[in-house]
A and B are shown apart, each in its own frame.
Chain A
Amino acid sequence: AQKVTQAQTEISVVEKEDVTLDCVYETRDTTYYLFWYKQPPSGELVFLIRRNSFDEQNEISGRYSWNFQKSTSSFNFTITASQVVDSAVYFCALSERVVQGAQKLVFGQGTRLTINP
């Protein structure tokens, strides 16, 4: 069965520090998608990134970067020069194919990130 593990329950850093959130997944599918979502205190899940299992190229978007390593089944997320507004719960998710092409998401437990001024 699909499984996503986010071993870090909570992380607290001082503003401007770099921080990496770990994500390890298990799947028997050969084609799958990996996602990161941010959940601020308001509660809404905000989509950050989707990565196809065939594309192991790392991606950078501003202060955010993602390191996908298929060999270790990991999809880690790094925030560079963290800011207080980055404080939120971050979820890693893995797609699981359901009927007729749709993909339901299997989420990790989440990592609560607190950036202190």
Chain B
Amino acid sequence: GAGVSQSPRYKVAKRGQDVALRCDPISGHVSLFWYQQALGQGPEFLTYFQNEAQLDKSGLPSDRFFAERPEGSVSTLKIQRTQQEDSAVYLCASSLSARGQFFGPGTRLTVL
């Protein structure tokens, strides 16, 4: 597709469940970012990939959060043992250079 796609668009999980969020970046984009956007807030950086290498994971809030991009294209953000404070919109962005990041529609995660 022409843009960044994310799935699922909405996810409801019971507290303690594991979830996996998928991101399909724009074809050819080397850089991939994950951000977390809490309600009424701006997005906050979680982690960054350059191709398949995870070069920065300083924004991941706990060791329950794990991201991978094994073949340098599709990426998955996994959250283990979800907690209510994990409820947020998770945004994926890809870029070819510092010129700008292009965002997907996000996955809205609600943890009950």
Contact = CB atoms under 8 A, between A and B. Distances in A.
B75 to A, nearest CB: 14
Contacts of B33: 104-105
Contact of A105 (B45, B50, B99): B45
A72 to B, nearest CB: 21
B41 A102 contact: no
Main SS class of interface, A: strand
Interface in A95-117: 95, 98-110
Interface stretch (B63-71, B78-86, B103-111): B103-111
Interface string B40-62: 11111100101000011000000
Given A43-B106, A44-B103, A45-B103, A102 B98 contact: yes
A22 to B, nearest CB: 15
A101 B98 contact: yes
Contacts of A64: none
Interface in B84-103: 89, 91, 93, 95, 98-103
Contacts of B95: 102
B61 to A, nearest CB: 15
B31 interface: yes
A102 B55 contact: yes
B101 A105 contact: yes
Given A107-B43, A108-B42, A102 B31 contact: yes
A116 B50 CA distance: 43
Interface of A: 4, 33, 35, 37, 42-47, 50, 91, 93, 95, 98-110
11 contacts: A35-B100, A44-B104, A44-B105, A95-B98, A98-B56, A99-B50, A102-B95, A104-B45, A105-B33, A105-B35, A109-B40
